[in-house]
Structure 1
């Protein structure tokens, strides 16, 4: 789902680093009471003050801190918030783990803390998920294309640390990223996923994304051809 380069640009192919399987949609509650969704989560809109109204961002251009989500079978909630340069080392470690696993991206060169710090000051959203106060995953969006006609489309990537999988982190990040991207004025999120990464495909389908195509032999990884599944999710007015 978007290959990250040294310049912080995400382009090409990069799939979800999580091995979470499919998750059900979260059911939102605006009255402060958690609602139980089919994936077994509780949504707590009151814990972090909820999402910002449409168009309201912090001074760095990122959405205000997002809601917290508590998996029913986990002792700690998942807190989603905008990333900052102080998260760069942990984000780099999670991304480099995804590179090493060879299941999520065509990239083979590890990224440094300094490179990743540049991602956190980009104009489009980059979020981290915290579990027990530690960053357990991240999700980011970059422009899909430099062409003006595609200005409202974002290409996204989401990665979850190996020791934080199956806690709902990937699903929580995708849900929060969709809302943050909508607030930032985007009308679509799209990405490519290796066809062999069935867990990520299921995760995206369970998070409101639709499979819209297959790109055969889209690139080679360690000499092996990879097919890529195209996924997308419409946002805001485009989704109605």
Structure 2
């Protein structure tokens, strides 16, 4: 009942241990200059963090939408492309780099249809898998494969994955979970995980409304049984942090294992 979703798993790469170019970085060599080009394909707000591994200087660039531009420039007599990758760490993150506040009183909707009720499989801050900065405030609802998952808040669909049919208790399945990631107007994000194969009914770039069906529950990824794992996150300069929230007018700390949530 756990999914270690890291947006950076797909778009972040540390260049300190091996010489390999991140997929979103390319080079443009003209005359005496080497330009380092960012090709940012991500919808919504993002930021690029560049660390000079020699001086430890950190540079952060914020973006409002997908973009392509030069982020570093070097003279060809001073370096080469291999050295640039070796001597710099590039990280492309979801969200704004400087989020200082968000709506802590927003009343999120339950992630399923009206008239339904589901049992809590795992609540927040547990010793099983809901612990640490990323998963501390997540909640799991027991849902059978194919049952409808709904958006808990209005937002923009940033990323979806639905091509996996793999799942099991082993950590080797961590990256096999199907999911939906949605950004919200206050800078936060919500995530819905373990969806069935081909179980996403929205597309990247869609704007969804609170309570709108967005997918179908499943058992993909690292999962002990069919269920929905979901949570709300704030972006930070080191990645997503799980945050507590209000769900159907109830603080999520009160959603305990074995209790039912009613969407009536």
* Interval containing the TM-score (normalised by the shorter chain): under 0.3
TM-score, scaled to structure 2: 0.25
More strand by share: 2
TM-score, scaled to structure 1: 0.27
